[in-house]
Homo-oligomer: A and B are copies of this chain.
Amino acid sequence: MAPRLASLDVYDVRFPTSRFLDGSDAVNVDPDYSAAYVILATDDGSWPVGHGLTFTTGRGTEIVVAAVEALRPVVLGRSTEEVFGDIGAFWRDLVDDSQLRWIGPQKGAIHLATAAVVNAVWDLWAKREGKPLWKLLMDLPSEEIVRAIDFRYLTDALTPDRALEYLRVLESTRSQREAEIIRDGYPAYTTSVGWLGYSDDKIRRLSAEALAAGWTRFKMKVGGTLADDIRRAGIVREAIGPANLLMMDANQRWDVETAISWMEPLARFDPYWIEEPTSPDDILGHAAIAGAVHPIRVATGEHVQNRVMFKQFLAAGGMDVCQVDACRLGGVNEVLAVLLLARRFGIPVCPHAGGVGLCELVQHISIFDYIAVSGDLTGRMIEYVDHLHEHFVDPVVVMDGRYRAPMAPGYSAEMKPDSLRRHTFATGEVWRDAAVATPVGG
C-alpha cells in the first residue's frame, strides 16, 4: 500500500522587509514579503515531507492561510500512488470544488492557496524520487506532462496533441541541454539595483557593484514622476554602459495612453522591455501599448491570474515576454500549461521572481523550459533579487549573472525551521519582540 497524504499544516510567515523599503515600487510601496507556507506529510514516517509556499506581501496572508485550510479536505486521505499517478486529476479536484470555486474561480486568494498546496505535492514527489523538480519533470514521459495540464478553455489555442508534439520534438536532445545547464547555469538579470524607495546615490552604487559582480542585465522601477524616472534611468544607464540590458518595470502604474506617452521620453535609455505598464487584467490595453512602443517589448505575467488569461495575452499580442509566476498560478501544473502556451506563440518565458522563495522555485521552471519545451535560451533569463535566501535550506546559487542548477531533491521551497518559527505572524519573535507590526496604510 502506498502511503496516504495524512497532514497538511499551514503557516503565516512574514518578513518585515518594509522597514528598509526593499522591494518598494510604484504600487507596492511597503511590502512585508510573506508566504502562506504548507508542510505536507504522509502516514509513512520513512517518507520525505513536502514543503510548498505561495508568495504574499504582508496583510492578507491570513486570508490565503484560511483558503489553504479550506482545501485541506480535498487533499487529506488521498493515496500518493493515486496523486502521483494522475496529478492532473488531482489538480482538477482542487480547483473544481463545487462551492469554493465561486470565490475565484481560479483567481485571487483561493488560487494562491492552490499554488501552495500543489507546490508542496510536487516537492514531496520530487524528494521521494530523489530528484530536483526540474529533473523529475524532464524524466517524466511527455504524455505524463501533458496529462498534468488542464486544457479546459485552452483548446482553441493549444490542444493536448499539439502540446505533445512540442515536447516530442525535443526529447532526443534533452540530455545535451541538461549537461549544458549543469555546466553553465541559466542566464539571470538583477532587480536589486533600482527599487523606487532607494536614493540616487544608492542606485548608482548598487548598479556599479552589480556590474563589477558580473551582471549584464539590470531592471529598474519606474512610475514615480516622469522627471524622477528620467533622472534615475540616466543614472542606471550611465553606470551599466550602453551594451548591457536595461529593463523597466512600472508595476501597473499607468493607464494605456499614459504608458504610451510616458515611454516616449524613456525610450532614449534603450529599455529592453517595459514591464506591467498597466492593469494586469487589461489584455487589450497591453496589446495597444505593445503596438505603440515597439521595438520596446511589453513584459507581464506576475499578476496574470491563470492560464486562460495567459492564452489571451499571448494570442492578442499583449505579452512579448512571458513572466510566469510560480505561485500566482495554481502551482506546477498550471505553469506547465503556460510554458507550452508560450511555446505555441513563440514567446520567451522569463519568470517573475524575488519576493520570498520565488527565485528558489522558478529556477526549476526555466531549466525544465529550456531542456524540454523551448530548447532555446535566446531572450530568456530569470529574475534575481538578493533578499531572504538565507532562510532556505537549499538557497539559489547565482554566479556571474547565472543561476546554477539546483541539484538537491525537491522544489527548493523548504525554509529553515528556525526561520519559519521566528517569522511566524504574529507569534514569532520577529513580530512579537518589536513594535514592528505595520499599520494599515503604513
| Main DSSP-derived SS at the A contact region | loop
Chain B positions within 8 Å of A281 at CB level: 106-107, 153, 305-306, 308-309, 312
Give min CB distance, A70 to chain B, whole Å. 6
Give min CB distance, A431 to chain B, whole Å. 14
Segment 279-305 of A: residues with Cβ below 8 Å from B: 279-285, 288, 303, 305
Give min CB distance, A109 to chain B, whole Å. 4
A311, B282: Cβ atoms closer than 8 Å: yes
Is A64 interfacial (CB 8 A cutoff)? yes
Partner pick for A97 among B106, B110, B441, CB 8 A cutoff: B441
- Which residue of chain B lies nearest to A24 when distances are taken between CB atoms in the complex? B98
> In the complex, A70 Cα to B73 Cα: how many Å?
25
B255, A98: Cβ atoms closer than 8 Å: no
A438, B99: Cβ atoms closer than 8 Å: yes
Is A216 interfacial (CB 8 A cutoff)? no
- Which residue of chain B lies nearest to A61 when distances are taken between CB atoms in the complex? B103
The total of chain A residues at the interface (CB under 8 A) is: 68
Give min CB distance, A179 to chain B, whole Å. 39
- Which residue of chain B lies nearest to A280 when distances are taken between CB atoms in the complex? B105
Is A323 interfacial (CB 8 A cutoff)? no
29 contacts between A and B (CB under 8 A): A30-B98, A31-B98, A57-B98, A60-B67, A60-B99, A63-B66, A63-B103, A63-B109, A66-B66, A74-B441, A98-B441, A105-B252, A105-B303, A106-B281, A107-B107, A107-B281, A108-B108, A108-B109, A109-B109, A153-B255, A153-B282, A153-B285, A156-B285, A281-B309, A282-B308, A282-B311, A283-B284, A284-B315, A285-B308
